[in-house]
Chains A and B, each alone.
Chain A
Amino acid sequence: MDPVRKVEGRAYPWGAKNIDTDIIIPAHWLKTISREGLGKGAFETVRAQPGNIFDDPDYAGSPILIAGDNFGCGSSREHAAWALKDMGITAVIAPSYSDIFSGNAFKNGIVAVVLPQEAIDRLVEVAKTDAITIDLETMTVTTPFQDRFTFDMDPFRRDCLMQGLDEVGLTLARDTAISKYESMVADVRPWLKRERGDAGVVVEGSGRT
């Protein structure tokens, strides 16, 4: 993943509360087999309304989305994070998120900043005309008007985002520990290792479909 130290630019000044994953990406987009291309379906129902902010040329391509409480509630679909990323959003600012969404956002390199409602209200105002800056180094959100809001973030997540480390890569680095565990299990619970191609199993992949 690309490291993220700073996200700077225009922001969609939305502020809407309880945006569920169905609004972020409607269910009929879930049949895709790729992470790419979901930007086209992002906020489809919102975009069906004339004058919506996502099709406003002032904000098109903004890297930041400002939202209200409980962003990303609803289903656990990771497509919500993929859709945001595919439409170019690398950071969201909101007073709160659903747990699953914030986990999914992090895993996909999206910065989910938590700020109180007053800060959100102010940022929505600023974003209508100006760019804002999220700095992971200083853990601040700033505007050209001397606003400065500090936020908290899990140090592990912050580290991963700033270094562009993906979780799989981090765990693969623990290979020795995993192998050690595996050889212990081979001794004490040997039945867990499964013989490939037990009776009844199709082993030749697509051969017998």
Chain B
Amino acid sequence: MASKPLTLYEKIWASHVVERREDGTCLIYIDRHLVHEVTSPQAFEGLRANGRRVRRPDLTLAVPDHNLPTTARVDAAGNRLPIADHESAQQLAALERNVAEFGIDYFGATAPEQGIVHVVGPEQGFTLPGTTLVCGDSHTSAHGALGALAFGIGTSEVEHVLATQTLLLSQSKTMEIRVDGTLGYGVSAKDVILAIIGKTGAAGGTGYVVEYTGDVIRGLSVEGRLTVSNMSIEGGARSGLIAPDETTYAYLKGRPMAPKGEQWDKALAWWRSLPSDPGAVYDRVVTLQGSDIAPSLTWGTSPEDVVPITGVVPDPESFTDASKRVAAQKSLDYMGLTPGTRMQDIPVENIFIGSCTNSRIEDLRAAAAVVNGRKVADGVRQALIVPGSGLVKRQAEAEGLDRIFTAAGFEWREPGCSMCLAMNPDKVPPGERCASTSNRNFVGRQGPGARTHLVSPAMAAAAAVTGRLTDVRDLMGAQAGG
């Protein structure tokens, strides 16, 4: 008897059910748990208050990222520098205490492997295909790029996973987002996900687990796939899966925490059975053509406010939906923009290349290729490059990328969340504009009154050297300075 064709999501779900309850909710086993300093202190406090232990420390990995300043962490003598912000210091100290007390593997602030939790997981091979992976952070969706069912959870759930290694969940609906064809010159993974969210809307994926398919997705590197899956949550979906394939396996092989030897072969055999079966049915299917996607960016305060760089600031009156018209007007007031302005005529004072969306080695290479031989424009007051992890930083330095950036006038920082959110010293000043490779352009996200335009690393680099939002294709291939 032929069994029903299943999607990747349905296969991962089925292999993780510990118990199914009468009402259909399931106790789901969690294979991998990433912990950072912001959403974990109260969870550990809860364990302590009830005299509970961490069930599987071996399946848990902790790393600080959100609060850490990205300036030097040790002085010339190698002594650790104090953190000025009292509350940040307190959260970081709490994490250190908790990992020691509960026996959890930890990359501390000055460990070479430290970085943004969603960069560290894949880079270490902690994230594996077919696993369930959680973290107290909504951008956990990123790990779906390797074929892991990965999603963000709240602090009570962090406590639940620490104590039981499970979560009570109901199965989601499935959505296939297929990007066919090939991408045009100068178009990157970031442009793909911005175009997707521009099409489906910021709430389009609510209640769904998304699977990204199609030739464009298959053609992306794991780094590019991580960018796409990372922003699933900005489209409303808690998880965004990409089926594992040879690209995934080549990326994982030899990573410190990936299986080795005979274990690798066993794992590989299982991973190969995971991709969605031919004929598997999704509850909703959305398709895009790669050739229709231009270098894109946001104009407003929702990630769905996307236009191609060749476009103009939209007129709120052009929206048919009345509530959208109101929202658009509010966005434009906050962003200080006038309808009809060409996106390429908008000046920017801040550049941020970093965040769990775009801080991996390929992102830095793409930015460096644009920056090489050029200078940060006069009107740009702050231009930060923040590698996603210490290992990315070292790799970039080995390739000489840091020198390209610093020669151009960029600041080369220590790894962390940095200017993605206004929780550490890196902020965009009120009323100033930022071309940012992060994932959220919400009101105040990069600091009170900060105006964010989400872009790819190459586009952020282009904006840095021209001082305004720029079509990176105009700079690519052209002689530096030409």
A-B CB contact pairs (8 Å), 17 listed: A31-B87, A31-B423, A34-B42, A78-B154, A156-B23, A168-B163, A171-B164, A174-B164, A174-B166, A178-B55, A191-B128, A191-B263, A192-B131, A202-B108, A206-B108, A209-B106, A209-B110
Residues of chain A having any CB pair with chain B under 8 Å: 27, 30-35, 76, 78, 82, 100, 103-104, 107-108, 156, 167-169, 171-172, 174, 177-178, 181-182, 185, 189-206, 208-209
In the complex, which residues of chain A have a beta carbon less than 8 angstroms from the beta carbon of B101?
205
In the complex, which residues of chain B have a beta carbon less than 8 angstroms from the beta carbon of A167?
156, 160, 168
Inter-subunit contact A203/B105 (CB<8 Å): yes
Q: How far apart sit A108 and B90, CA to CA, in the bound complex (Å)? A: 24
**Interface residue B29 (Cβ < 8 Å from any Cβ of A):** yes
* Interface footprint category on B: 35 or more
Inter-subunit contact B155/A78 (CB<8 Å): yes
Given A33-B42, A104-B156, also A191-B264 (CB < 8 A): yes
Given A32-B87, A191-B267, also A200-B156 (CB < 8 A): no
Inter-subunit contact A205/B23 (CB<8 Å): no
Name the distance in Å between A108's Cβ and chain B's nearest Cβ. 7
Name the distance in Å between A47's Cβ and chain B's nearest Cβ. 19
Inter-subunit contact A108/B156 (CB<8 Å): yes
Q: How far apart sit A17 and B312, CA to CA, in the bound complex (Å)? A: 35
In the complex, which residues of chain A have a beta carbon less than 8 angstroms from the beta carbon of B109?
209
Name the distance in Å between B114's Cβ and chain A's nearest Cβ. 9
Binds A, one of B45-53, B354-362, B366-374: B45-53
Q: How far apart sit A6 and B55, CA to CA, in the bound complex (Å)? A: 35
Name the distance in Å between A107's Cβ and chain B's nearest Cβ. 4
Q: For residue A77, which residue of chain B has the nearest CB? A: B154
Inter-subunit contact B163/A172 (CB<8 Å): yes
In the complex, which residues of chain A have a beta carbon less than 8 angstroms from the beta carbon of B97?
206
Q: Which of B23, B27, B31, B46 makes the CB contact (< 8 A) with A174?
A: B27
Given A31-B88, A191-B264, also A171-B27 (CB < 8 A): yes
In the complex, which residues of chain B have a beta carbon less than 8 angstroms from the beta carbon of A209?
80, 96, 106, 108-111
In the complex, which residues of chain B have a beta carbon less than 8 angstroms from the beta carbon of A34?
41-42, 45
Q: Which of B45, B107, B128, B154 makes the CB contact (< 8 A) with A33?
A: B45
Q: For residue B111, which residue of chain A has the nearest CB? A: A202
Q: How far apart sit A104 and B41, CA to CA, in the bound complex (Å)? A: 17
Inter-subunit contact B107/A202 (CB<8 Å): yes
Inter-subunit contact B124/A200 (CB<8 Å): yes
Q: How far apart sit A108 and B124, CA to CA, in the bound complex (Å)? A: 35
Inter-subunit contact A168/B105 (CB<8 Å): no
Q: Which of A35, A76, A200 makes the CB contact (< 8 A) with B256?
A: A200
Inter-subunit contact A177/B266 (CB<8 Å): no
Q: Which of A31, A78, A189, A196 makes the CB contact (< 8 A) with B156?
A: A78
7 tightest A-B contacts by CB? A209-B108, A205-B100, A33-B41, A191-B259, A31-B87, A206-B96, A191-B263
In the complex, which residues of chain B have a beta carbon less than 8 angstroms from the beta carbon of A200?
113, 124, 256
Given A168-B46, A168-B160, A192-B31, also A104-B154 (CB < 8 A): yes
In the complex, which residues of chain A have a beta carbon less than 8 angstroms from the beta carbon of B160?
167-168, 171
**Interface residue B38 (Cβ < 8 Å from any Cβ of A):** yes
In the complex, which residues of chain A have a beta carbon less than 8 angstroms from the beta carbon of B152?
76
In the complex, which residues of chain A have a beta carbon less than 8 angstroms from the beta carbon of B19?
174, 177
Q: How far apart sit A205 and B60, CA to CA, in the bound complex (Å)? A: 13
Q: How far apart sit A198 and B105, CA to CA, in the bound complex (Å)? A: 10
